[in-house]
Chain A
Amino acid sequence: MRRAEFVTAIILGLLSVYLMWKAGEGPEWDTEYVHWANTGINIDGSGPGKGFFPFYLALGMLISCIWIVVNAIRRQSPPSQSDEPFMDGYAKKMLLMVGGGLIGFLILIDLISMYAAIAVFMLYYMLILGRHPAMLSVVTSLVVPFWLYLFFDIVMTKVQPKGLRWIEDTIYTPAGNFFRDQSFIGIVMFFVVSGAILTFVARSARRQGGA
């Protein structure tokens, strides 16, 4: 933990230095701009330039980081006193499994559409990380994205990414036409029926687990 405290503060300090430099930068298309010209507090009587705040805020970050390092040297912050490892085996494994799953989820969105990616992620999480019964995992990971689809895409017309073009054309376009033609009551029925299936599966899973 102590080493992590130092390393983090130093990385954040370096980030601050980069941001300070970045604040003094002009617009990309202006070739005559002189670096730092934006950071004055009163430029031609019109107040601070656009780089003033970013520069001094980044400077404030840098000072804070130096202070954090000083405190750590004097062993005054709890992490710098701790002998525990920054991340133990469990934390590393957790981060790899959950964090990796999230990254995979994001990559899948562009390929196979948001809702399919949700189904894959839910299934992965429940089956592999949660060790839930297969039936429950499969049904949950189908019903949750279905609900979200009905709510976001159909009811609220807040359209989510649809992945590759052929997935969109073969699945979502006909599905959208079908559901948009339903009455409001019809949509509610879809919610309720899929919810009932989920509840039934969850109940029977709990009964089996309890027995």
Chain B
Amino acid sequence: MKLLKNLTLGVAAIGMALTATAASAFEPSKPIDFVIMAGKGGGADKMARLMQSIVEKNELADKPLVPTNKSGGSGAEALTYMSGVGDPDHSIMVTLNSFYTTPLRQPGLKVDNMAFAPVARMAEDTFVLWVHKDEGITDFEGFLKEVKSRGNKWVMGGTGKNSEDNIITDHLNEAYGLDIKYIPYKGGGAVAKDLAGKQIQSSVNNPSEALGFYESGDVIPIVAFTNERLPMFPDTPTLNEVSDEEDFAYFMQRSVVGAPGMSDEAQAYYTDLFTKVFESDEWQKYKNDKSLMGEFMSGDDLSEYWGVQIENHEKILKASGAIK
């Protein structure tokens, strides 16, 4: 009997010790649900799988990240799923700008962006205006002239309706009195291919999407929608340089967020995890190769950044009539 009692006490002591350590530092106890707010094969998906493989390769986490794509309704499916998830400490999500636009456009979802845990902003993707080399256009002025001469026969391809690409196209039409026709596609890869095949006349792809055709000389960059010239395209001016505009710049966030209701300890754990991913050689190389910008950001800084972005997007969407 005594033996049994000692044993029980011992087990209880170990159990308490374990709980104590668990309370002070969060460690995942099971596979981590890694939701991707976009379909398989898109830019966000590729990036998420890169993050996952960096974690696995360098053994940064004890438990595996399990990626699941929830692409429905421009991210509406992912946002509602994350809001109602049963175990917020084991659920994280890779987001892009639909994180702001989808709740704005679909108030019926009743999603509050600010309730998500700001884990890490991994990068900001950039946008560049591309045309096919056979158009004979080399600068923005030439672009404007050619587009105007073509009337409404100039076609811009982009990913999705009322998306990032659409917002930039609307801006060009409005600010320069153009009549560019916008055709929504499912993914950036298809847009890049149709531009190379001269099925469309221009695109505002991310550099990562158009890089292959740029290197083969099929497409050429006209302007970048950034504040400073991109290191990869030093001869391509920014839109602000070649126009009277003050500061038109548009970026796509690539962030990791935690489910609403995530504990502070868990949030700290994931921020730490993704800091390591961010600092890894693989991530830094990818960021340079694909012309991604943006510093690492987390916690309150990231929340603040979201606040500004949501406000901006609300203005943009209202201006284009997508929301009232």
Contacts and interface: CB of A to CB of B under 8 A. Distances in A.
A8 interface: no
A173 B87 CA distance: 13
Interface in A117-163: 157-159
Mostly helix, strand, loop or mixed at chain A's interface? helix
B86 A165 contact: yes
Contacts of A177: 29
B30 A176 contact: yes
B177 interface: no
A168 B86 CA distance: 11
Interface stretch (B2-10, B17-25, B105-113): B105-113
Interface residues of A, number: 13
Contact of B105 (A29, A165, A168, A180): A29
A32 to B, nearest CB: 8
A172 interface: yes
A28 B108 contact: yes
Interface string A80-94: 000000000000000
Nearest to B68: A159
Chain A CB within 10 A, most for which of B30, B33, B106, B107: B30
A165 B90 CA distance: 13
A173 B30 contact: yes
Contacts of B87: 165
B187 interface: no
A159 B87 CA distance: 14
Contacts, number: 24
B64 interface: yes
Interface string B101-137: 0000111100000000000000000000000000000
A159 B108 CA distance: 30
B66 A159 contact: yes
A157 B66 contact: yes
Contacts of B30: 168, 172-173, 176
Interface string B56-71: 0000000010100000
A157 B86 contact: no
Nearest to A169: B29
Contact of B31 (A29, A165, A176): A176
A157 B107 contact: no
Contacts of A172: 30
Nearest to A165: B86
Interface of A: 28-29, 157-159, 165, 168-169, 172-173, 176-177, 180
11 contacts: A28-B108, A29-B107, A29-B108, A158-B66, A159-B33, A159-B66, A168-B30, A169-B29, A172-B30, A176-B31, A177-B29
Given A159-B33, A176-B30, A177-B29, 12 more contacts: A29-B107, A29-B108, A29-B323, A157-B64, A158-B66, A159-B66, A165-B86, A165-B87, A169-B29, A172-B30, A173-B29, A173-B30
